[in-house]
Amino acid sequence: MSEITTVGLDLAKNAFLAHGADASGRAVLRKKLRRDQVLDFFGRLPPCVVAMEACGGAHFWGREIGKLGHEVRLIPPAYVKPFVKRQKNDAADAEAICEAAVRPT
């Protein structure tokens, strides 16, 4: 498996979706996580960029994931929306967040 360099994390009430990509942008991870699994999952992952849409809950998760050695990026939802390729669902949102995080602007 390729090394994950970027993870897009779509936050929800109970289940979060993680979309991981390698340096070339190819998807290497798609995983559904419950709230109690998130910190354990990121604790086992090598340090990488973790991106989330900015919201009230994202600030909490960003601090907790940042403590594990990851670089956290909070992206405004308006900057993520253009990267959604198909109908709006959690998996498509996680992929769009991951893609928006690697853009230079």
pLDDT in tens, 11-30: 988 899 999 999 888 889 99
CATH code: domain of residue 24: 3.30.420.40
Total count of domains within the chain: 1
pLDDT in tens, 25-82: 888 999 999 999 999 999 999 999 999 999 888 999 999 999 999 999 999 999 988 8
C-alpha triplet 42, 49, 14: angle, nearest 5°: 45
Q: Are 71 and 47 in contact (CB under 8 A)?
A: yes
Inside any domain, residue 1:
no
Report residue 47: phi and psi, to 5°: -55, 130
Residue-number span of the structural domain to which 70 is assigned: 6-102
**pTM of the entire predicted model:** 0.89
Inside any domain, residue 10:
yes
